[in-house]
Structure 1
Amino acid sequence: MAYRRLLLPLTGTAAGEAALATALDVARIWHAHLHCLHVRVDARDVAPLAGEGLSGAMIEEMMAATERESGERANRVRDLFDRFAATHGDLVLASDPNTAAKSQGVTISFETMAGREEDIVAQQSRLFDMAVVPHPEAGEDVSSSDALHAVLFDSGRPVLIAPRTPPATIGTRVAVAWNGSAESAAAVAAALPWLHRAQAVRILCSDDYQRRGPGAEGIRAYLRWHGIEAELVPFKPATREVGAGLLGAARDFGADLMCQGAYSHSRLRQLILGGVTRHVLENADLPVLMCR
């Protein structure tokens, strides 16, 4: 089992460029096809947002301005893609599986679609083995990242959150964040190709992190059925922030990939009270494979 088709929602931000580099590294590991998708704002979606009292001419001007800005951004993103592809001479442009199958290297493609980014990215992700998404921008409230949460909640696929700086390696030392939840079980299942390939696997668990469900010894036994030997190491949060303790334990292990379930508690509760998922999304400096 391996990842053959990766989706990268491509933006023109610095985090988007880092995610492009990370996604390419993942594609090289799995000899996969990387499809870059840019979603343009559809000017027709602007009209319903216009306030009352605006004339038809004002709404048309607003739509025209949106169309210009969207087109300029799409051109910048396409230029970024073209420069990146030209810089890496081993990449092959391909848009169909037959062309990709004949290629000896990694294949890559680009597509622009118009509409609501969160809807299109979540829907298109269902046709890929994994989505790679940029890390939230520094200072950005992660709860406002509609596209990221749409992929997590609505795609049915694992999501790899790329760090702000492309890592030197990915998946050689994998930390498994286990809390007994259905979400963490889904993350382990999605990460099995990585776990089989890893040089070392460590299960991270904590009484403060555990939910109702099997304990860490249970998932350790499950991995043994798959021929994967994993070390089990409890972690203790240094403060009340469990997410910080989890990331600290992953760093102590020298992990270059962590897999975990997302939002074992509701997103609303984490928005109000904070939570492990939110902390990891905002602060992780390593690639994180999440499932919901």
Structure 2
Amino acid sequence: MTIRTIIMPFASHANAKQRISGALSVAQFFDAHLDVLHAQINPKQLLPEERQLISDEFYKRIDQIVADYVSEDAEPLKALFEDACQRLHISTQTRIPRYATSQPETTAMWQDVYGFRGEVVAEKGKLSDMTIIPQAKRGKSSVSFEAAILHSGKPVLIMPRTQDVFAPKHATIAWNGDTQAAKAVTAAMPLLRKVDTVTIATSERSVNNKPTQSELQDYLAMHGIQSESKVFGASRLRAPQALLEQAAALNSDVIVCGAYSHQRIHQQMFGDFTKSLLKRSTIPLFMMS
């Protein structure tokens, strides 16, 4: 598998310049096409469904006010996107490409899409190879992250909000032998092939879980990827922090890991391991559920 199509939902102005530059840098790393999805609510979604409650003239006036506000909010963000594309020498497109070019080329497109952000990410993510989500300000999982990781069926790259360059040389795989970690490794193959160094990191508590580190090394070698392994000590509660400390000691640029969740009544909840990584990581997380 190659990563040819990437999406990034985009709504707020916070760290907008860095987030756009960072996403474009990711696209350049993979020679991929990036769709920046500026999700906005259709003005009609903010108006009463019962049209008879208000006059047509008042309804049209409110509709126009909301439409003007949405347009004014999007224009400076789109200008940042166009400036970044020009600075990075990335060609922009006005329609979705229908055919792959003979030579890999980084392209980008700004899309104004109507709908609730979570629904847009879940829908568009199913036909993309990866979704970029900015790290939440308070370290919690965001609506976009939950929609992407639970419903797109594709990997998610969590980017620190101020990171504007993505050029990883060293990737650390968080390995415990379970299904989520295995799916993350498979999805990350295009990433693992491009970095210089791959390290498999496992806690002492999981070192005997099967498949083992050694078996994963053999699997990666069959795909032309050489790797080394590390074992770190940590209790169950300290495992996320210990993993981050191990990645920092290795000077890793990205962590490949599974996203863990459990089902409660009518609600999907993320486990402590995933929530801790989302909150504390200072480097990108390549995640798969």
TM-score (norm 2): 0.83
Contact 2:240 2:277 in 1 (8 A): yes
Q: Distance in 2 between matches of 1:212 and 1:155?
A: 28
Q: 1:111 to 1:103 in 2, by over 3 A?
A: farther
Q: Does 2:218 correspond to 1:221?
A: yes
The alignment's C-alpha RMSD in Å is 3.2
The answer for unaligned runs of 5 or more in structure 1 is 50-54
Q: Percent identity?
A: 28
**Aligned equivalents of 1:106, 1:160: Cα separation in 2:** 18
Post-superposition offset of 1:199: 1.1
Aligned match of 1:260: 257
1:266 shift after superposition: 5.0
Query: Is the contact between residue 175 and residue 258 of structure 1 (CA under 8 Å) also seen in structure 2?
Result: yes
Q: How many residues align?
A: 281
**1:77 & 1:211 partners in 2: Cα distance?**
49
Q: Is the 8 A contact 2:22 2:166 kept in 1?
A: no
Distance change in 2, residues 1:155/1:231 (3 Å):
same
1:66 is displaced (CA, Å) by 5.0
Structure (1 or 2) with the greater helix fraction? 1
1:183-198 matches, cutoff 5 A: 183-198=180-195
Contact residue 19 and residue 163 of structure 2 kept, 8 A: yes
Q: Does 1:31 align with 2:10?
A: no
Question: Which residues of 2 match residues 87-102 of structure 1 at below 5 A?
Answer: 87-88=87-88, 90-94=89-93, 95-97=95-97, 101=101
Aligned to 2:247: 250
Residue 178 of structure 1 deviates from its aligned partner by: 1.0
Q: Secondary structure at the match of 1:101?
A: coil
Query: Alpha carbons of 1:163 and 1:196: their partners in 2 closer, same or farther (altered >3 Å)?
Result: same
8 Å contact from structure 2 (residues 133, 156) kept in 1? yes
Could you tell me whether the CA contact under 8 Å between 1:19 and 1:134 is conserved in 2?
Answer: yes
For each residue in 1:231-269, what CA deviation from the matched residue of structure 2 results, as whole angstroms up to 9, or x when unmatched? Answer: 111122389332111111111111111111101555868
Partner in structure 1 of residue 143 of structure 2:
146
SS at match of 2:286: strand
Which stretch shifts more, 276-285 or 100-109?
Answer: 100-109
In structure 1, the residue matched to 2:173 is 176
1:69-123 per-residue CA deviation (whole Å, 9 max, x = no partner) reads 43332223222222323333x2212234368738885211111111111011111
Aligned residue type for 1:73 = D
